Amino acid sequence: MVMVSIAACDTYDLETVRHVLEGVLAPLGGMGRFVRPGMRVLLKPNLIVPLPLDRAVTTHPTVVRAVAEMVQAAGGEVWIGDSPAGPVRNSERLWQRTGMADVAAATGARLVHFDGVEWRHLRGQDYFIARPVFEADLIINLPKLKTHTLTLYTGAVKNLFGTIPGTRKREIHYRAPNIADFSRALADVLELVRPGLTIMDGVWGQEGNGPGASGTPRRYGCLAASADPVALDTVVSGAMGCRPGAVLHLREAAARSLGVADPQAIQVVGDRGALDFGRVHLPGVQRLLQVLLPRWASTPLQRAIRARPRLVSPEACMGCGHCVEACPRQIITPGRPPQFLLDQCIGCLCCAEVCPQGVIVPERGPLGRVLVGSR
Ligand code: SF4
Ligand code: SF4
């Protein structure tokens, strides 16, 4: 039976995180079960957008550092890499603002850029994936526990979408505009990028309209690990209140035997009480999707209720243009604030994810508001 290990952790104090991680990995065989001396190990945190750490958008550097040290203690060479949702124009700023530069300085880990790509063809689709993913001997996936306005939940499987560099992600949003197609694309990425171990930062995460600046930080107080990212996501998303099957990319991944999404087939070990999150505010549209058959996700009804971006506090816009570059439909005209051609919008909310000011928020039209509320 596939195993998911959980422990309570409500602080980013380094000593505490180290101690808790040792305990979380022990039932899985410890770091030594995954890392052999001389291995090149790529740590893949979630660095979607370089926002302040208290926004709980990115994997906390303390967790990354503790994992890096454990890998090194097992004899591995540590690489750290990710690419943000928008353009990879200033990696140095990304490393600095997400704390990864400090992790590298403290541990000697190598920060790797995700600008070089390798091409893969899968199920009739082209994927361009960061080269270090294929150069590493082992990938350790380090997701952040968050809600996601489009996919309901973002954790281990969704984090691997970051292996597609920068604005190449928008090509996938463009060809997979609805949630069903996008979920299949996420399963494709998991088929191409297979982490050997996943360790989730759930000390602080997000609820509501995550996963970027428009999400609401929330303390979940846990760290979790598994060799199976689908099983880990199944357990954690279930604790957040998502019923089995509601997260479509997990359902798709399980259907392809890429992991286990049946809660009855997953053994949860450790402190199960750490999964007692209480009521979590899930993105509104998903409450409806949870009571509809998943195939309805691609119907006109689903499109009609999908949230679109709205600018709030336009005076706070910096005119950085990140939203412009992230938009797969290229329907945002640069400016301060930018202008949106919403009649061509597919509601992917990439613009909201990358906005450093949090001034782009999801909003539904009249039908969406009647059916599922404004959020
Ligand atoms: S405007 Fe925003 S939500 Fe609409 S297609 Fe562009 S990035 Fe996606
Ligand atoms: S809306 Fe946000 S991402 Fe777009 S230009 Fe303004 S600050 Fe930048």
Q: Can you give the pLDDT of all 375 residues of the chain as single tens digits?
A: 999 999 999 999 999 999 999 999 999 999 999 999 999 999 999 998 888 999 999 999 999 999 999 999 999 999 999 988 766 566 788 899 999 999 999 999 999 988 788 889 999 889 999 999 999 999 999 999 999 988 889 999 999 999 998 778 888 888 887 888 999 999 999 999 999 999 999 999 999 987 888 889 999 999 999 999 999 999 999 999 998 889 999 999 999 999 999 999 999 999 999 999 999 999 865 445 544 444 444 456 666 667 789 999 899 999 999 899 888 888 999 999 999 999 888 888 889 888 888 899 888 777 666 655 544
Say how many Å lie between the CA of residue 329 and the centre of ligand 1.
7
321 lines ligand 2 (CB under 6 A): yes
Q: What is the pLDDT of residue 167?
A: 73
Say how many Å lie between the CA of residue 289 and the centre of ligand 2.
30
Enter the pTM of the model: 0.84
Question: Do 192 and 172 form a contact (C-beta atoms < 8 A)?
Answer: no
DSSP string, 3-47: EEEEEE-----HHHHHHHHHHHHGGGT-GGGT--TT-EEEEEE--
Say how many Å lie between the CA of residue 312 and the centre of ligand 1.
15
54-69 exposure pattern, b = at least 16 Cβ within 10 A, e = fewer: ebbbbbbbbbbbbbbb
Atom 7, ligand 1: which residue's CA is nearest? 327
Domains by residue range for the chain, with CATH:
2-275 (3.40.50.11440), 284-372 (3.30.70.20)
Atom 4, ligand 1: which residue's CA is nearest? 345
Q: What is the pLDDT of residue 341?
A: 93
Number of H helices, E strands in the chain: 15, 16
Within 13 A of 109's CA, how many CA atoms are on the CB side?
33
Residue 205: phi and psi, rounded to 5, are -145, -150
Query: Which of 229, 228, 231 has its CA nearest to residue 263?
Result: 231
Q: What is the pLDDT of residue 291?
A: 42
Q: Which of 310, 311, 315, 323 to mutate to test the pocket of ligand 2 (most atoms within 8 A of CB)?
A: 323
Atom 5, ligand 1: which residue's CA is nearest? 345
Question: Do 18 and 69 form a contact (C-beta atoms < 8 A)?
Answer: yes
360 lines ligand 2 (CB under 6 A): yes
What CA–CA distance (Å, rounded) separates 277 from 236? 10
What CA–CA distance (Å, rounded) separates 211 from 59? 12
Q: What is the pLDDT of residue 306?
A: 73
358 lines ligand 2 (CB under 6 A): no
**SS3 (DSSP) at 331:** coil
Q: What is the pLDDT of residue 290?
A: 44
Say how many Å lie between the CA of residue 28 and the centre of ligand 2.
43
Say how many Å lie between the CA of residue 371 and the centre of ligand 1.
22
